[in-house]
Amino acid sequence: MSRQAIGELISEAIAVFIIIAFGDSVACMYVLYDPSPYVNAYWGVCIAWGLAVTLAIYVTGSVSGTHANPAVTLALAVFRGFPWKKVIPYSIAQVIGAFLGAALVYLLFSPVIDHYNQVHQLTRAAGGAAGVFFTHPGLAITPMHALVDQVVLTAFLLFGIFAITEQYNEMAPGANSGALIIGFLVATIGACMGYLEAWAINPARDFGPRLFAFVAGWGSSALPAPDNYWWIPIVGPLIGGVVGGAAYQWLIYPFLPARQRALQTTGDRVAADSTR
C-alpha cells in the first residue's frame, strides 16, 4: 500500500473521529443533563452535528475528499468513478474512526453516564444512556419503518452532496464554502427528520460507536440491540446513498447547462479534428 493510500485511510478515520467526538458529545449534553441545555433548543444539537461534519471536511478534505461515510463512498464508486478497490478500506477506516471517537466521548462523559444511570435506576446491560452513542427507533417507529426512513434520509443527503460538489452545477457553492453547506445539509436533515430514529444516515457513524458500546458494557443492548436493530442503520443508508446519487445523476445532471456547453464544445472539437 502506498504512502498516499495510507494517508487517505488515516484521513477518513480522523474525519469520522471528529464527527463522533463532537456529535456524540452533544448527544450526551442533550440526554444526560437535567435540565438539558438543549431541551428547548434541538436545533443546537443539529447544528453541532453539522458543524462537526464541516470541521471534518476542512481538516481532511484535501487528503481523502472526506467521504466520512460508507454510503458516500459507495455512491461515489457507483456514479463518480471512485475506485472500487478503495471502498472497503475506506469503510473500515471510517468505522475505526467512529469507534475511537466514541471512546473519547466515553473518556469525557463516563462519570456523567454512570450518574445518569444511577439516578434513573438503569444499567448499561439494559441500555441505560446507550442513546448517546448510537441510534434507535423513535416514537411509534418500527424497525422496518426505520429502514425505509434511513433510505429516504440518506437519499436526501447524497442528492444534496452530489449537487453541492458537482463541477457543472453553476449554483453550487465555491470550494471553500461547500463544507459549510454540507454541514447545514446534515443539520437540516436532523432538524426535520432526526426524531424518527436519530438520523444515522451513515453506517460508520452508528456501527463504530455501537461496537464500542458493546465492549464497554452495554452488551446485547448495543449488539444485536433490541429487535435485532443493529443492521438497519447500515443497510438503509447504503441503499439510500445509491438512490440519492441515482436521482441526481438521472434527474438533474443530464440537464445542467454548463455540462451541455461542455459537451457541445467537445463535439465541435471532434468535428473540427475530423475535417483536418
As a whole number, mean pLDDT of residues 238-242 equals 98
Q: Is 122 helix (H, G, I), strand (E, B) or coil?
A: coil
Block residue for cell numbers 475506485: 83
All 3 cell numbers of residue 243? 438512490
Nearest to 203 by CA among 233, 170, 181, 160: 233
User: In this structure, what DSSP letter does residue 128 have?
Assistant: T
Q: Where are the beta strands (DSSP E) in the chain?
A: none
Q: Does CATH place domain 3-267 in 1.20.1080.10?
A: yes
Taking 80 as the threshold, does the pLDDT of residue 151 lie above it?
yes
The torsion region of residue 172 among left (phi > 0), alpha (psi -120 to 50) and beta comes to: beta
User: Amino acid letter at 177?
Assistant: S
Nearest to 181 by CA among 199, 164, 202: 164
As a whole number, mean pLDDT of residues 57-70 equals 97
The domains of the chain are located at 3-267
User: Amino acid letter at 144?
Assistant: M
As a whole number, mean pLDDT of residues 8-15 equals 98
Please write the tens of the pLDDT for every residue from 104-140. Answer: 999 999 999 999 999 999 999 999 999 999 999 999 9
Reported as type and span, the H/E element at residue 275 is: none
Residue 276 pLDDT: 65
All 3 cell numbers of residue 163? 449537487
As a whole number, mean pLDDT of residues 247-269 equals 91
All 3 cell numbers of residue 4? 498516499
Nearest to 194 by CA among 54, 15, 42: 42
Residue 79 pLDDT: 98
What is the rounded (10 degree) CA torsion for 17, 23, 24, 27? 180
Range of weakest confidence among 132-141, 166-175, 217-226, 264-273: 264-273
Residue 92 pLDDT: 98
Please write the tens of the pLDDT for every residue from 18-49. Answer: 999 999 999 999 999 999 999 889 999 999 99
Q: Could you count the other beta carbons within 10 Å of the beta carbon of residue 141? A: 15
Q: What is the pTM of this model?
A: 0.95
Residue 272 pLDDT: 66
All 3 cell numbers of residue 112? 456523567
Q: What are phi and psi of 254, to 5 degrees?
A: -65, -20
